[in-house]
Amino acid sequence: MRNQLKEAKRIVIKVGTSTLIYPNGNINLSAIDQLAFTLTDLSNQGKEIILVSSGAIGVGLNKLNMSKRPSTIPEQQAVAAVGQAELMNIYNQRFLTYSQQIAQLLLTRDVIEYPESRKNVTNTMEQLLQMGIIPIVNENDTVAIDELDHLTKFGDNDQLSAIVAQLIQADALIMLSDIDGFFSDNPNTNKDATLFSEINEINDELLQLAGGKGSRFGTGGMYSKLKAADRVLEHNGAMILANGQNPKIIFDILDGEMIGTLFNRKEKVQ
């Protein structure tokens, strides 16, 4: 299946806050520039690229010189509103360096719950791709509180990226995180933890291995990524979970190299 990634034409890229923000809270301009370069080059190759980007609250905290994530929903929403504007400003600047046009789509969960809105969003994405524009998608944090308050498992950008991949029938979802893939245990605390190269089914045993939040700047944990992978597998798609420290790794992934964890239905493997 990894070789089939070379043929992938429509690709959703999801980047977590850990790729965009340094642990000290400052913005990782190098990673954002690499991301802009990589996605523009893929677009120049004729591939259709959709970026699902976290980072609004992380960038907002940096912009407002706040050292920690606020506890109340209105505060979080205010920080997200400031951060989203700044994040898109940075993306626009970096993508324009490579003459690539981008567009912003802020979505809420009613997009998939209501057929009319789902159709409208899908049509918008299709039109943007047809025009050679890269849509940058994020959850609308100023109105969608599920992600902010963690009241439901649905509502973070891991799930959103899987939904977007489903909506536009993407050939692959590449999820960049702060870990090399899915491990048997936490590799930061257990040196004997082993990396799963390929997973064909999300079961209770795997879900038990995952759990907890990510960094203080992000919302997603490994459980969330497995649930996203499960959604992708339900629709016979493919997802790759890999380390986003160097976004140019996307080139190697699409070249079929053994990087990260591939989630893929066994029957599709040839």
Mean pLDDT by 10 residues, the chain (270 residues): 89 94 94 98 98 94 93 90 96 98 90 86 97 94 56 64 94 93 83 90 83 43 87 92 95 95 72
How high is the pLDDT of residue 80?
92
DSSP string, 58-109: HHHHHHTT-SS--SSHHHHHHHHHHHHHHHHHHHHHHHHHTT--EEEEEE-T
How high is the pLDDT of residue 152?
35
How high is the pLDDT of residue 245?
92
How high is the pLDDT of residue 209?
77
In this structure, is the dihedral angle defined by the CA atoms of residues 223, 228, 231 and 235, taken in order, positive or negative? negative
How high is the pLDDT of residue 150?
43
How high is the pLDDT of residue 114?
84
Using the structure block, give the residue that is written with the tokens 């025009």.
Answer: 131
In this structure, are residues 26 and 64 in contact, taking their beta carbons and an 8 Å threshold?
A: no
In this structure, is the dihedral angle defined by the CA atoms of residues 204, 206, 207 and 208, taken in order, positive or negative? positive
How high is the pLDDT of residue 167?
93
How high is the pLDDT of residue 110?
74
How high is the pLDDT of residue 211?
61
Joined together, the tokens standing for residue 99 give 């003459």
Other CB atoms within a 10 A radius of the CB of residue 166 amount to 18
How high is the pLDDT of residue 168?
94
How high is the pLDDT of residue 144?
59
How high is the pLDDT of residue 207?
81
SS3 state of residue 34 = helix
Q: What CATH number was assigned to the domain covering residues 2-268?
A: 3.40.1160.10
In this structure, are residues 114 and 145 in contact, taking their beta carbons and an 8 Å threshold?
A: no
How high is the pLDDT of residue 149?
46
Annotated binding-site residues read 14, 54, 141, 157, 177-178, 219-225
How high is the pLDDT of residue 191?
83
Other CB atoms within a 10 A radius of the CB of residue 212 amount to 9
Annotated binding-site residues for substrate read 54, 141, 157
Distance between terminal CA atoms of the chain? 7
Annotated binding-site residues for ATP read 14, 177-178, 219-225
